Structure 1
Amino acid sequence: MFKSRNEAGKLLAEEFKDKILDDGNKVVIALPRGGVPVAYEIAKRFVLPLDIICVKKITAPKNQDLAIGAVTESGEIYYNKELVSHFGLNELQLRRLTNEKKQEAIQQAKLLRKKNSPIDLSGRDILIVDDGIATGAKVKAAIKLIKQHKPNQIQVLTPVCSREAWSDITNTVDDLLVLETPHNFLSVAEFYLDFPQVSNTQAQEFLEEIYFLTKDERKYEQIQKFECEDEPVRKVRK
């Protein structure tokens, strides 16, 4: 049981510090909005750049708590084929549900990033962070998007993960780092004492703090890339 998302982030940072320690190549990716406070604590401790990938769950008709898939802001999609078949959704229905959620993800990304550009993930060591993984739909969609950017490696960090999701995800990434994998898993909320909804304002504040904490290092790296276009980029600590 975790006191809060922020406490869970601190526990993750301490437990897996040897795997998180930066060599100048790591980027933390939070899955909003619940994953942002968790990711913030990791990024703050290790002074790592923090960005987001907005992913929206595609929920079953008449059951908003059951995810049948997920879609990212860029349109990468994951479907649970068994659940899609169970609910008898045809292609038109599925496309409509997916498009609605994609637009929500796009709007959320614009709102949370403000005027900041997404971080280039190519060749980077990516740490995907969420406040918990139940079905794994959101994480799977995020992994699909990130792999298109050809990162060096992908790690997923989360305080708690269902055993079913663990089995589905563990072989798709380089590391799946989890504090708890309980036998009985109904929802992420049951593993937190304090689990309020994270507001857009709160998420923006966390992201902005890390942005200003690391902005000088990011500017330096952009200069290095410009001056050494035909040479390997020297990585600097974020």
Structure 2
Amino acid sequence: MFKDRKDAGQKLRDKLLNFKGVSNTVVVGLPRGGVPVAFEIANDLSLPLDIVVPRKIGAPFNKEYAIGAIAEDGKAYFDREAIEHLGVSTKYLESEMEKQRAESKRRLRVYRGERPPVDFKDKTILLVDDGIATGSTVKAAIESLKVHHPKEIIVAVPVGPQDTISELKESINQVICLATPHPFNAVGCFYSFFDQTDDDTVIEMMKHKPLTPSQ
């Protein structure tokens, strides 16, 4: 469906052309995999690029299975149904929240470096990832962004399951998703090349300065 994250970003950009060069609009990528997608959009649409860094909270016996997520400011999302079904203890959740929040803050410092964060107040935010599965990290990111009182939040992703996309539409202004295949296994299944994005790539892309429309 997509060659790689650059290809996905370019295809997603084509659905966002009405935001090209629009003031008070910022592209926000989710590290690490969402940043290359967001970078293509920000660069081609002459928009600033920033990040939020929610961290997945995995189940006790399967860290890849998300039961929630938490952002650097402590805003979190939990899948209460999954937590109850798996019998996850409060002690485990508190421990993982503390650990993942600390890691989120560390990564934010590393990725931003000396660069100050963008002021999200009254901005239109294009929140971008390389795909959505359970939606936990995106939901935590949304809660974190809402604290800053943006004008609107628009989630833009190449691919995701229909039920998750429908659920997101209930809580934010708009969701743009290029494909909602069924059955949906994992985001990487819809890319020909889906390597792990490393820290150095994110750091380099965060040095991005938007082009002016005339450029």
Q: Is TM more than 0.5 here?
A: yes
Distance 1:163 1:68 in 2: 19
Task: Kindly provide the CA deviation profile for residues 56-105 of structure 1, in whole angstroms up to 9, marking residues without a partner as x.
Answer: 10000111221000000111110000111112122221100111111111
The corresponding residue for 1:87 is: 86
Q: Which secondary structure does the structure 1 equivalent of 2:193 belong to?
A: coil
TM-score w.r.t. the length of structure 2 is: 0.95
The corresponding residue for 2:167 is: 168
Does structure 1 residue 110 correspond to structure 2 residue 109?
A: yes
Does structure 1 residue 157 correspond to structure 2 residue 156?
A: yes
Task: Kindly provide the CA deviation profile for residues 17-73 of structure 1, in whole angstroms up to 9, marking residues without a partner as x.
Answer: 23x334211011000000000000000001111000001100001112210000001
Q: Which secondary structure does the structure 1 equivalent of 2:42 belong to?
A: helix
The corresponding residue for 1:71 is: 70
TM-score w.r.t. the length of structure 1 is: 0.86
Gaps of 5+ in 1: 218-236
Distance 2:130 2:22 in 1: 25
Gaps of 5+ in 2: none
Query: Does the 8 A contact of 2:57 with 2:69 survive in 1?
Result: yes
Distance 2:185 2:193 in 1: 17
Query: Does the 8 A contact of 1:27 with 1:127 survive in 2?
Result: yes
The corresponding residue for 2:183 is: 184
Aligned residue pairs: how many? Answer: 213
Moved more, 27-36 or 158-167: 158-167
Distance 1:155 1:58 in 2: 24
Moved more, 20-29 or 143-152: 20-29
Q: Which secondary structure does the structure 1 equivalent of 2:133 belong to?
A: coil
Q: Which secondary structure does the structure 2 equivalent of 1:78 belong to?
A: strand
Query: Does the 8 A contact of 2:27 with 2:125 survive in 1?
Result: yes
Query: Does the 8 A contact of 2:125 with 2:153 survive in 1?
Result: yes
Moved more, 111-120 or 21-30: 21-30
Give the 4+ runs in structure 1 shifted more than 2 A.
20-23
Query: Does the 8 A contact of 1:135 with 1:164 survive in 2?
Result: no
The corresponding residue for 1:3 is: 3
Which is richer in helix? Answer: 1
Q: Which secondary structure does the structure 2 equivalent of 1:155 belong to?
A: strand
Does structure 1 residue 44 correspond to structure 2 residue 43?
A: yes
Does structure 1 residue 62 correspond to structure 2 residue 61?
A: yes
The corresponding residue for 1:27 is: 26
Task: Kindly provide the CA deviation profile for residues 159-188 of structure 1, in whole angstroms up to 9, marking residues without a partner as x.
Answer: 001112112101211110010011111111
Greater Rg by CA: 1
Q: Which secondary structure does the structure 1 equivalent of 2:194 belong to?
A: coil
Task: Kindly provide the CA deviation profile for residues 178-235 of structure 1, in whole angstroms up to 9, marking residues without a partner as x.
Answer: 1001111111110100000000001111111x23x46xx9xxxxxxxxxxxxxxxxxx
Question: Identity, % of aligned pairs?
Answer: 38
